[in-house]
């Protein structure tokens, strides 16, 4: 039976990306050696990093004055590296969920933190609006896509201070105006690569400004200066990211990724809104194109385990919702086909007809 992978992360990747990465693990560039057993400083590997950086810049249209680096530690390590590198006195945080809260918690270790708005009052089902950004803060931190709750900030915010965005789960899903950001970062395992590498796009002029001492490995300048080669970078995940970037470019770039994301998400939300059994959890104007969250209506709540088992029997994988939201979550990253979304909709309709 065909499986449709709706996992939230690590998550779906194009088949050809997985195959190319697997092939390089067996025989890298016809060298007779595995990608896993060569030096990251081998002359064959440097072009992989260079090309990955170049494709990042090309596909996202990153302007001059920004560096792209690859690190370990996941998005979670960035939560502490960000204040370490940028928080002198005060930072502003927009609280839109668990990841945003975790980022904010780390910043409090380094200075004053202003939470400019929060949607915690309604279990993070919406993106707050009408907040004020303090012009005297060092930066504003946002989480552009809230993977757990299925909410997303789809515009690039105008801000008097540098915006730092956790784009772990929506990077490369739409064109972004990088010039409006001081830094964009994320774990690769949602929409870029396999687990193991973190990407950071950082505006060079923001580096080296804080007065505190920064441990070498936690200092962005170290990695910018050494082109992600200060220590051994995650070689295989970077190679996998390169294959995926080539795939994105060949498909038509981020404009095409956005078109597909709109098509998939509109179709699924239309079914959620139409189907008598289900209801979406995120407010309509805050809905994510990447993580689509829905639950059974109160009167049908006892059917939850039954629907999950039914969807699983039809080949759906990973549609169980996060424990903080319950119900169901269909993560529809770049590699998710329209066919996959239609198969999930067919499940929902068949289940509705049976009840
Ligand atoms: C998954 C996720 C994280 C955590 O990423 P790690 O790489 O596991 O540290 C952080 N932020 C968002 C928005 C996520 O979706």
Rounded CA-CA distance 43/62 in Å is 26
User: For the residues 21-47, what does the mean pLDDT come to?
Assistant: 94
Q: What is the pLDDT of residue 283?
A: 98
Structure tokens at 83: 């204040």
Q: Tell me how far the alpha carbon of residue 168 lies from the centroid of ligand 1, in angstroms.
A: 6
User: For the residues 192-214, what does the mean pLDDT come to?
Assistant: 98
> How many other CB atoms are found less than 10 A from the CB of residue 56?
23
User: For the residues 179-201, what does the mean pLDDT come to?
Assistant: 98
Mapped onto helix, strand or coil, the DSSP state of residue 206 is helix
Structure tokens at 114: 């202003």
Structure tokens at 136: 């005297």
- Long-range contacts made by residues 245-251, C-beta under 8 angstroms, separation at least 24? 245/52, 245/55, 245/56, 245/59, 245/172, 245/192, 246/55, 247/14, 247/16, 247/17, 248/59, 248/172, 248/334, 249/55, 249/58, 249/59
Q: What is the pLDDT of residues 112-169, one digit of tens each?
A: 999 999 999 999 999 999 999 999 999 999 999 999 999 999 999 999 999 999 999 9
List, in order, residues 6 or more apart from 121 with CB less than 8 Å away: none
186 strand-pairing partners: 199
Rounded CA-CA distance 227/67 in Å is 9
pTM over 0.95: yes
Query: Above 90 in pLDDT, residue 354?
Result: yes
Closest ligand 1 atom to 76 CA: 9
Which residues are catalytic, by number?
99, 166, 190
Over the Cα atoms of the chain, what is R_g?
A: 21
8 Å CB contact between 193 and 180: no
Rounded CA-CA distance 169/191 in Å is 6
User: For the residues 250-268, what does the mean pLDDT come to?
Assistant: 98
Q: What is the pLDDT of residue 44?
A: 87
Cα 265–269–274 angle (5° rounding)?
150
Q: Is the peptide bond before 114 cis (omega within 30 degrees of 0)?
A: no
Q: What is the pLDDT of residues 292-319, one digit of tens each?
A: 999 999 999 999 999 999 999 999 999 9
DSSP 183-201: EEEEETTTTTSSTT-EEEE
Q: What is the pLDDT of residues 36-94, one digit of tens each?
A: 999 998 888 999 999 999 999 999 999 999 999 999 999 999 999 999 999 999 999 99
8 Å CB contact between 322 and 288: no
User: For the residues 26-35, what does the mean pLDDT come to?
Assistant: 95
Instruction: Give the binding-site residues of ligand 1, using a 6 Å CB cut-off.
Output: 9, 74-76, 99, 143, 147, 166, 168-169, 187, 190
8 Å CB contact between 239 and 24: yes
Q: Tell me how far the alpha carbon of residue 313 lies from the centroid of ligand 1, in angstroms.
A: 29
Question: Which residue out of 152, 166, 199, 291 has the highest number of ligand 1 atoms within 8 Å of its CB and is therefore the one to mutate?
Answer: 166
């Amino acid at each position: 039976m065909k499986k449709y992978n709706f996992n939230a992360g690590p998550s779906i990747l194009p088949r050809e990306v997985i195959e190319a990465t697997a092939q390089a693990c067996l025989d890298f560039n016809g060298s007779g050696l595995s990608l896993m057993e060569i030096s990251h400083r081998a002359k064959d590997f440097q072009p992989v990093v260079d090309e990955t950086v170049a494709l990042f810049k090309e596909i996202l249209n990153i302007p001059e004055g920004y560096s792209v680096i690859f690190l370990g530690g996941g998005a979670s390590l960035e939560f502490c590296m960000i204040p370490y590198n940028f928080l002198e006195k005060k930072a502003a945080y927009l609280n839109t969920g668990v990841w945003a809260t975790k980022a904010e918690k780390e910043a409090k270790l380094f200075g004053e933190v202003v939470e400019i708005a929060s949607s915690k009052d309604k279990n993070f089902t919406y993106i707050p609006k009408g907040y004020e950004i303090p012009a005297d803060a060092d930066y504003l931190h946002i989480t552009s896509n809230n993977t757990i709750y299925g909410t997303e900030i789809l515009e690039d915010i105008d801000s008097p201070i540098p915006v730092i965005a956790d784009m772990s789960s929506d990077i490369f899903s739409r064109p972004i105006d990088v010039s409006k950001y001081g830094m964009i970062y994320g774990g690769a395992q949602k929409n870029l690569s396999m687990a193991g590498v973190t990407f950071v796009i950082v505006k060079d002029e923001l580096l080296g400004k804080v007065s505190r001492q920064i441990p070498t490995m936690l200092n962005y300048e170290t990695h910018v200066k050494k082109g992600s080669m200060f220590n051994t970078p995650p070689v295989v995940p970077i190679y996998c990211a390169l294959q995926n970037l080539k795939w994105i470019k060949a498909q038509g770039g981020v404009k095409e990724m956005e078109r597909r994301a709109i098509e998939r998400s509109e179709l699924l939300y239309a079914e959620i809104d139409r189907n008598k059994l289900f209801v979406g959890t995120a407010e309509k104007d805050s809905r994510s194109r990447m993580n689509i969250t829905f639950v059974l209506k109160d009167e049908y709540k006892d059917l939850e385990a039954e629907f999950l088992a039914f969807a699983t029997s039809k080949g759906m994988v990973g549609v169980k919702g996060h424990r903080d939201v319950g119900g169901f979550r269909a993560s529809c990253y770049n590699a998710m086909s329209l066919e996959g979304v239609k198969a999930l909709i067919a499940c929902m309709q068949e289940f509705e007809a049976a009840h």
